[in-house]
């Protein structure tokens, strides 16, 4: 019987290294956005894709057998991270380089980076990463949080829409920082949670965004928009235990099968892995049966691993975005998916994000 790819830590390490080395640009010490078949394209990765790589690294770092080797890659990642830094704020720009103007700060990208930084702090205890996460949270709350509604704007300019993809991870970030003992206003967390909750549809899934001026809701459903509120609520049940929060977790868990189509996940690896983080947390905290959805990740991974072993290309799960080559965010999310599947069965992940 064929062993499952998530059975061996070595497999996760192999997938990480191939992803890292495929997309790393030795000339400029940053990362490529896309790996087209047969040639390298020089475009530097968007913050979104680099953030996905950063998250994959953080998830892999939680595997003890890989940690000593992985720590050697951290200086290169930290160096690339600073290429996105803006001088105006504690935040990070969507692209590298100077001269980026208004509208180039996306609050969701900043929240993803901060969540990855917290995960790195969890496994290194290096205060730098906790400070980074806390400063990003403060930056988002000062510049992107809309206190009347409780939503977080998607981007700095134009401030036209409030998104679950920015509010959900900011809520999760605040909850996790509170878990680490940081001073976080509970009232802000409660507002963000209430705003996310009002974005649910009749099936209990979280819709994408709301136009700020008109209140019109975009009803599109993406897996990560359900993942972050679920993850946040599952964490809140630990630090602020109330039956209400546990009931809300159970309510979302009941809706999860609606995200699958014929028992398969949508072809959006980066969105899907954000949900998987929540599922691992829910599973390890015994907050509901999520095995049906996790099985969909396992089936997709077995097929992707077979392709990985037969090519020299990065590990990549089915994606609707890979027509021009493999995107960094899809490749990174595929590695992170493998890491979480491994950790689900091998490592205690209590308290991990």
Task: For residue 103, name the pLDDT band (cuts at 50, 70, 90).
Answer: very low
Q: What tens digit of pLDDT does each residue of 202-227 get? A: 999 999 999 999 999 999 999 999 99
Task: For residue 33, name the pLDDT band (cuts at 50, 70, 90).
Answer: very high
Q: What tens digit of pLDDT does each residue of 39-48 get? A: 655 689 999 9
Q: What tens digit of pLDDT does each residue of 292-314 get? A: 999 999 999 999 999 999 999 99
Domain ranges of the chain: 5-346
Q: Is the pLDDT of residue 351 over 60?
A: no
In this prediction, residue 38 carries a pLDDT of: 61
Contact (Cβ atoms closer than 8 angstroms) between residue 229 and residue 235? no
Q: Is 226 helix (H, G, I), strand (E, B) or coil?
A: helix
One-character DSSP codes across 51-77: HHHHHHHHHHHTSTTTHHHHGGGHHHH
Q: Is the pLDDT of residue 72 over 70?
A: yes
Q: How large is the average pLDDT for residues 126-154?
A: 97
Contact partners, residue 88, CB within 8 Å, separation at least 6? none
Half-sphere exposure of 71 (CA within 13 A, CB side): 11
In this prediction, residue 267 carries a pLDDT of: 97
Q: What tens digit of pLDDT does each residue of 22-31 get? A: 999 999 999 9
Task: For residue 90, name the pLDDT band (cuts at 50, 70, 90).
Answer: confident
Distance set, CA 241 to CA 238, 248, 336 (Å):
6, 12, 29
Q: What tens digit of pLDDT does each residue of 255-267 get? A: 999 999 999 999 9
pTM above 0.75, yes or no: yes
Q: Is the pLDDT of residue 350 over 90?
A: no
State whether the Cα torsion 163-164-169-170 is positive or negative: positive
Q: Name the architecture of domain 5-346.
A: Alpha/alpha barrel (1.50)
Q: How far apart are CA 332 and CA 53, in angstroms?
A: 5
């Amino acid at each position: 019987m064929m062993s499952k790819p998530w059975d061996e830590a070595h497999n996760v390490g192999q997938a990480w290294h191939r992803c890292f080395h495929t997309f790393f640009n030795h000339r400029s010490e940053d990362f490529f956005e896309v790996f087209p078949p047969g040639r390298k394209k020089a475009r530097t990765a968007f913050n979104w894709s680099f953030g996905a790589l950063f998250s994959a690294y953080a998830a892999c770092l939680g595997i003890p057998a890989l940690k000593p080797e992985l720590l050697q890659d951290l200086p290169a990642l930290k160096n690339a991270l600073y290429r996105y830094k803006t001088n105006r704020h504690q935040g990070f720009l969507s692209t590298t380089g100077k001269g980026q103007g208004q509208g180039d700060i996306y609050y969701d990208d900043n929240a993803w980076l901060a969540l990855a930084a917290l995960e790195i702090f969890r496994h290194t205890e290096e205060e730098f990463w906790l400070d980074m996460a806390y400063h990003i949270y403060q930056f988002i709350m000062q510049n992107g949080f809309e206190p009347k509604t409780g939503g977080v704007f998607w981007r700095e300019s134009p401030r036209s829409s409030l998104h679950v993809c920015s509010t959900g991870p900011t809520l999760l970030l605040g909850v996790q920082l509170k878990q680490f003992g940081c001073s976080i206003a509970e009232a802000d967390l409660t507002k963000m949670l209430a705003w996310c909750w009002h974005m649910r549809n009749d099936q209990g899934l979280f819709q994408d965004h709301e136009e700020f001026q008109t209140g019109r809701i975009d009803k599109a459903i993406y897996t990560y928009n359900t993942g972050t509120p679920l993850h946040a609520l599952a964490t809140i049940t630990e630090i602020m235990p109330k039956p209400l929060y546990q009931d809300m977790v159970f309510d979302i868990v009941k809706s999860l099968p609606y995200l699958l189509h014929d028992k398969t996940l949508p072809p959006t690896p980066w969105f899907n892995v954000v949900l998987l983080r929540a599922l691992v947390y829910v599973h390890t905290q015994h907050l509901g049966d999520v095995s049906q959805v996790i099985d969909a990740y396992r089936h997709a991974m077995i097929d992707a691993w077979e392709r990985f072993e037969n090519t020299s290309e990065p590990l990549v799960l089915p994606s609707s975005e890979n027509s021009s080559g493999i995107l960094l965010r899809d490749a990174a999310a595929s590695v992170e998916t493998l890491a979480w599947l491994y950790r689900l069965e091998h490592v205690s992940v209590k308290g991990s994000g």
